[in-house]
Amino acid sequence: MPQLFLNQKSCETTADPERVNRAMTELAQAVIAVAKEDRQGTELVMREPLTALHLAQGHHVSRWARTPSAKNGLWTLLLRMQTKWPHEKVFPDGETFSDIAHSHQGEPAPELGYAHLMGGLGISLLLEDRWDADRLTLVQEQLVDDADAGTEVTEVELRHMASLKHAEAHRPWVRECAEAARRGDLSAVRTGAGLWERREALFPHLRFLPAVEAQVRDLKQIWVQPVCKRLAEMERAIVVWDSRTRPDGPPWGSHVTPEHEGRKEEFCVFVDLDGQPQYFDTHLRFTPGAGRLHFRFVAATGLAHIAHIGDKLG
């Protein structure tokens, strides 16, 4: 179910009209190729309506729409697909991504950043060599609410497309996403609310304290899949756990550590599901930022009780 985010930076160059039209035809054909793999789930997401788009400086999209290639069905198909603008229309409720920014080769690239955050594809007009790639590396800078760091800078990889060649490289991924959505797989979970609604089916060996519901439902979009991954690792670890050889608990799938003694007393006592206060100082991390998941494993029942999913406690 790919969302295709148009990289506005690729539309800000100067090029001769014939070259611009060729690039737009190539991009349109690539978009349609993706849509053929997932007709229901493919969305074209832009900053403005398609009919208002400038493909290059002084080159309105209407000039391309009058070309034979566009008249042969491409223009009509694109108009049907482009139902989301501005970008905020596809963001989860209440999410603005105001605390995170992306750049490419030293220049701001917000649309490519949105594509990364939403698990979609960035698409560009192939008017510069730098867009001739099926993967792009972005620099991600995020404000972190953590005493140890104010800003976290990392490199992230984005699926990208500007031509039919690139579309072909992504065809297996698009097909897999479409099949996952039909099956209801974990990889198809896009929002915290969707994750919460499916928690019992996806993670039968995990139990969540009442306060965790709001945390999961309001989960930052950028944390949805990282949290899914951590929960899936915990579930698998419990399923394969052998209490005879590891009486203390499963070998968790990621780096799990106890909280420091002072912080344990101050931040890690929660009322468990039986109404009794317990330490939930064991925690694992997820990124970007200082994501924390605090839990305790109950060996007698073979269940993990989760008390906190979100920013670092305190």
Higher pLDDT, 173 or 269: 269
Share of the chain above pLDDT 90, in %: 55
Query: How far is 285 from 149, CA to CA, in rounded Å?
Result: 15
Who contacts 211 (Cβ-Cβ below 8 Å, separation ≥6)? 307, 308
pLDDT at residue 181 is higher than 70: no
Task: Map residue 128 onto helix, strand or coil.
Answer: coil
- The candidate with the shortest Cα–Cα distance to 312, out of 270, 269, 272, 268, is 268
Contacts of residues 127-130 at CB distance under 8 Å and 24 or more positions apart, as own/partner, are 127/10, 127/13, 127/15, 127/19, 127/20, 127/23, 127/56, 128/10, 128/13, 130/104, 130/105
User: Which token pair is 252?
Assistant: 């968790």
Averaged pLDDT, 104-131: 93
pLDDT score for 145: 56
Phi first, then psi: what are they for 278, rounded to 5°? -140, 155
Task: Map residue 28 onto helix, strand or coil.
Answer: helix
Highest mean pLDDT among 42-46, 144-148, 204-208: 204-208
In Å, what is the CA distance from 59 to each residue of 16, 45, 53, 233, 277?
A: 9, 20, 9, 50, 66
Higher pLDDT, 110 or 41: 110
| Range name among 34-38, 182-186, 277-281 with the lowest pLDDT average | 182-186
Higher pLDDT, 188 or 36: 36
Query: How far is 306 from 292, CA to CA, in rounded Å?
Result: 11
204-246 residue pLDDT tens:
999 999 999 999 999 988 899 889 988 988 888 888 787 877 7
**Residue 254's pLDDT band (cuts 50, 70, 90):** low
6-40 residue pLDDT tens:
999 999 999 999 999 999 999 999 999 999 988 77
Q: Where are the domains of the chain?
A: 3-188, 192-311
Torsion on CA atoms 286, 290, 295, 297, rounded to nearest 10: 50
Instruction: Give the count of alpha carbons within 13 A of 233, CB side only.
Output: 16
Averaged pLDDT, 128-152: 81
User: What pTM does this model have?
Assistant: 0.67
pLDDT score for 50: 93
Question: What kind and span of H or E run contains 175?
Answer: helix 164-183
Higher pLDDT, 203 or 252: 203
Averaged pLDDT, 251-263: 73
Q: Is 230 exposed, middle or buried (0-12, 13-18, 19+ CB in 10 A)?
A: buried
pLDDT score for 38: 84
Distance separating the N- and C-terminal Cα atoms of the chain: 37
Q: Are strands 107-108 and 256-257 parallel, antiparallel or unpaired?
A: unpaired
pLDDT at residue 94 is higher than 80: no
